[in-house]
Amino acid sequence: MAREIESDEYGQLLDTMLLELHGQIEAITQTQVMTSGFDRLDEYIHAVNSFYYRSFKDHYFPRFINLMDSEIAALLNLRHKEDRLERDIMTSMQRYVKLYNQVKTIRNLLLKSRHEINSKLIDATRYEDRSNADFLLAIKQLKDNLQLFKIFILDLLNLTEDTALMKSLQQIPEHMILPQMVLKMDFNYQNALKDANTLLSHLMLLSRILQENSRDFWPDSEKGSHLLTSLKTNMDEYIKKAPPTWGNFYNKYLKNQLTVYIQLIDPGSRSAAKNNFKLTQDLKEWLDAWATLLERSIYYRTTQNVMLQYLDTVMMLPSDYARLLHNWVTECVEEATRLYDDFAGASEPDFTYFHQQAAVFIEKYQEKLTASDWRSSSADSSPLPFWQRRVVLELSNLAYQMTFFQDKHLYAQHVRDQYLEVVNLLDSYLNLLATIRSDLERMMAPRNISRAWKDIYIKIERIPLETGKFFPDEYLFLLTQNTIYDASSELPRHTILYEEGDLFVIKVADQTAYELPTLILAG
């Protein structure tokens, strides 16, 4: 449109000049038309040339010069405006680039902070997990002690509910001698167990011999004499074959009593038949008591019953005490196991809930076990009072630790919540920066720039810079004396140790600018 206007102006100017020139020529030629001859021809040509000279010099050239001056001035002004526009565009692009690098730098700082906070959050979570683990350990410790106590009580229960054993203990005043001997034996050696069973077999044999005893048996003196002879013969045979330990025991605790019984029995007297029957019956019961005591001692020794050596204590216990205590401990173990399993199996356990459950559990069973400690003030040397006090102390210790665990849990939860709040805040900032960065990238995209500035060549090239990577070789000429080098780094030269953005090459028309961020390179 501008060039069409310029063409019209020049055309109008030329048309005007031609018209004026045509008029002048007609005027001159009319004045000279009547003149003839060659003398006047020179004058005519001179007049025409003078006219042309004066017309172009005084009129047409000045008009052309004025028009050209105006046109050149307009073009110069337009170029000045274009240069200023290009400079403004370059400045704007540089601002966008600097803003992009600032966004990247801030984003990197926030990411670093988020990583650090996330590590602290993980530490806080682990601290809470350790607190839960400590609580779980305390429950496990109590559960295991209760389980051991249950095993101990089960041993006690087996003894107290062994009717035959309890009866034999009451029949033998020196009942602890035999269990003590059995406990001293090492059953890993086959002969030791064989020696004990040999004595048991001997006692059972004597008892079978006495089975012939009846009220009709003793009036027959021959049968009575044969019975006593069998007893003596078996006694002598055992003493000959018995190992020293069992032989000494037999002589000291069994032989003398057997001899007394045999001497008191008079098989030749019919009047003593009733007395012989009673003596023989007592002897058999006495032998059966020893046999039962030995057999049960061997059994409980092989099953490792810890209360075997404390039979005196077992006999002193109130009736049904072991059963009552066993029921309580069994119930206590079941609840402790359930509490432990529920807490251990929960992916995110509710500490407050389990804390309340543990408190109820402690209060319930601490009172029961304390009330059941019937020998707590006695000098009983058996493990029973010890185990009862131990479990009560474990419950008391757990109750004490519960307050500590709760404080740890509340502290860990508070710290975790604080870190979560910071992480959420950092995430919101990072999302905002991501939006700004996306907008800047969209603004600097070649398609969007060319659409906004169709008549001006604009190009922005981003060269990503990343810590740990090499600075691009083709742009090493941009590095100046102000670039910081770290000579202490062991990485290759020009490795980027720190950067505050990317390298940008900005081109606007004929102008080129480089935007180099702050860098620290390995030297």
Q: Tens digit of pLDDT for each residue in 158-205?
A: 998 999 999 999 998 888 899 999 988 888 887 888 999 999 999 999
pLDDT digits (tens, 9 = 90+) for 290-321: 999 999 999 999 988 888 888 888 888 887 88
CA distance 276 to 217: 10
Asked if 458 contacts 449 with a C-beta cutoff of 8 angstroms, the reply is yes
What is the crossing angle of helices 321-345 and 61-160, to 10°?
Answer: 170
The string of pLDDT tens digits covering residues 211-244 is: 876 656 666 667 778 888 899 999 999 999 999 9
For residues 143-164, average pLDDT: 89
CA triplet 97, 103, 105: central angle to 5 degrees? 105
DSSP state, residue 472: P
DSSP 512: E
The model's confidence at residue 2, banded by pLDDT at 50, 70 and 90, is very low
Query: What is the three-class DSSP state of 517?
Result: coil
Give the helix/strand (H/E) hosting 516.
none
| Contact criterion met (CB below 8 Å) for 119 and 520 | no
Q: What is the pLDDT of residues 46-66, one digit of tens each?
A: 666 666 666 666 666 676 666
Give residue 498's pLDDT.
Answer: 86
What pLDDT, on a 0 to 100 scale, did the predictor assign at position 24? 65
- Return the percentage of the chain with pLDDT > 90, whole number: 14
Residue 486: pLDDT band by 50, 70, 90 thresholds? Answer: confident
pLDDT at 403: 83
Q: Say which DSSP state 385 is in.
A: H
Alpha carbon distance, N-terminus to C-terminus of the chain: 60
Non-local CB neighbours of 139 within 8 Å, separated by 6+ positions = 336, 339, 340, 343, 358, 398
Task: Give pLDDT, residue 269.
Answer: 67
- Is the pLDDT score of 96 beyond 80? yes
What Rg do the C-alpha atoms of the chain give, in angstroms? 60
Contacts of 273-282 with C-beta under 8 Å, sequence gap 24+, read: 273/215, 273/218, 273/219, 274/215, 274/218, 276/218, 276/224, 277/213, 277/214, 277/215, 277/217, 277/218, 280/210, 280/213, 280/218, 280/227, 281/213
Q: Given a cut of 80, is residue 75 above it in pLDDT?
A: no
- Could you count the other beta carbons within 10 Å of the beta carbon of residue 398? 21
Q: 505 - beta bridge partners?
A: 461, 514
CB 460 within 8 A of CB 90: no
Specify the 3-state DSSP secondary structure of 504: strand
CA distance 402 to 136: 11
Mean model confidence pLDDT for the chain: 81
